[in-house]
Structure 1
């Protein structure tokens, strides 16, 4: 037995089809306007910043020429650095110790910044702190710490405390505090509100609500953010040496200034391989944390 589905009258279907077509065309026009606005702003920004494509094409050879220079042996022109690893990596032991300093600077700065961000991140969350003045003060502090470049913090601390790893640790800790604080507060604002309401209804204190209702929900995300930030901070700690804040960056800057081309390529290789290794390890850890959270 064949079944026939009822259909609306043709004039009604035509009206609905017309409304649908108009809605689709409206979305397409809005998308086109947004794309044109982005393109216009990009062109305006390029003109204000004096970005000249012809100049870029004219001098792009110098960019590649520098990398050709740093990968050519200084004592044997025409040969690449990897053909004589002993000559190329002559300072591997020394550089390894400096790299260890860089990793320790990044690690300690990440830990200090993450602890501060975890403490203030809850105070900056709208669902835990209804008072706009207290919440606003916490957010303004976080904004200040992540807005000021960490290299500027490092310069200030170098003037205050002198050369060495301490300025680098403090600079990374402050910038990490501001960046992770925002991520942590947003993660807290997206938690399931029912455990929070249940804890409040049971008469729990604010600290108890944070400890037993909010923290278990956001802890995997917190750990994932901290691992990602540590990877970023390793790169930042390498740059801190440019202002005398310790680590392998100081030797890299010295090699660049004194035109020790082979040392520049060796130091860059060490830094790149270290960042790649950390990226692979932290990626696996983040995936495990995300998988554990999804399986709960």
Structure 2
């Protein structure tokens, strides 16, 4: 049985159509206005930051020339010999690269421990008092606001050159970054187990152990692994200020214009970061969604 479709009166339909067109036009005008404001802000920011597109275009060839000089000459007739000459200090670079990974690992581990201890005090739903929450949050903000390279410079001055300065710098910055992420994970938990244990007379530590940790453990581990990836990159830069790792050797190659050494070390760093990213990505996916990973 056919159902009749009601038809609006012509005057009412015209009024609705005009209102729709006016709304669309107003939204289009707002969009154009926002885009115009963004363009103006980008232009003003570029001027204040002395970003000169013409200078970039005029000197882009220098960048290409530098990249060209870092590419070694490899011939098919002497392929393995050319590769061996390119990576003439491979054992030394590999040792420094391994040191870089260890710096990142220790910095991540120490920072994650501090973040774990403070995140419950910094979360709004589990903080034992308002002042403890404020103190924990301000401390974590300080740790992640100061760049890790600045901490590395301070520790190099205090403790001398070496990996120790890099580990301490990364651990402090990692504590601030992970502390905020961990606190956000804690704030999004289901509070029913917490309320149940609290009603049963459990202590604050017992509530954390039995009601909170089972919910947040996968998220904590995932963020810690992600931070480890970031710290591997950061540890490579620490060597620029003498805080250990392959970064110092990389800086020496740049300063002394050892172009092929620059490309060799850079490729080793890139390959290491890619392998770590691939490995930790699989682990993070298994932790977050164990049933969805085959």
Tell me what 1:191 maps to.
Answer: 189
The answer to whether the 8 Å contact 1:71/1:80 transfers is no
Provide closer, same or farther for how the CA distance between residues 26 and 293 of structure 1 changes in structure 2, counting only shifts above 3 A. farther
Taking the TM superposition and a 5 Å limit, the aligned residue runs for 1:91-240 are 91-129=89-127, 131-240=129-238
- When normalised by structure 1's length, the TM-score is 0.89
Provide closer, same or farther for how the CA distance between residues 142 and 58 of structure 1 changes in structure 2, counting only shifts above 3 A. same
Name the CA distance, whole Å, in 1 between partners of 2:90 and 2:150: 30
CA drift at 1:267:
0.5
Name the CA distance, whole Å, in 2 between partners of 1:127 and 1:8: 53
Name the CA distance, whole Å, in 2 between partners of 1:227 and 1:56: 37
Deviates more, 1:41-50 or 1:169-178: 41-50
Tell me what 1:69 maps to.
Answer: 69
Tell me what 1:41 maps to.
Answer: 41
Name the CA distance, whole Å, in 2 between partners of 1:218 and 1:293: 17
- Match of 2:287, SS? helix
The answer to whether the 8 Å contact 2:161/2:244 transfers is yes
Name the CA distance, whole Å, in 1 between partners of 2:192 and 2:180: 23
| Aligned match for 1:251, one of 249, 252, 265 | 249
Name the CA distance, whole Å, in 2 between partners of 1:17 and 1:188: 49
Name the CA distance, whole Å, in 2 between partners of 1:110 and 1:93: 26
- When normalised by structure 2's length, the TM-score is 0.89
- Match of 1:84, SS? helix
CA drift at 1:40:
2.2
Name the CA distance, whole Å, in 2 between partners of 1:20 and 1:190: 40
- Match of 2:289, SS? helix
- Match of 1:127, SS? coil
Provide closer, same or farther for how the CA distance between residues 245 and 96 of structure 1 changes in structure 2, counting only shifts above 3 A. same
**1:57-76 CA deviation, whole Å, 9 max, x = no partner?**
00011011101001134xx9
Name the CA distance, whole Å, in 2 between partners of 1:228 and 1:108: 14
The answer to whether the 8 Å contact 1:125/1:135 transfers is yes
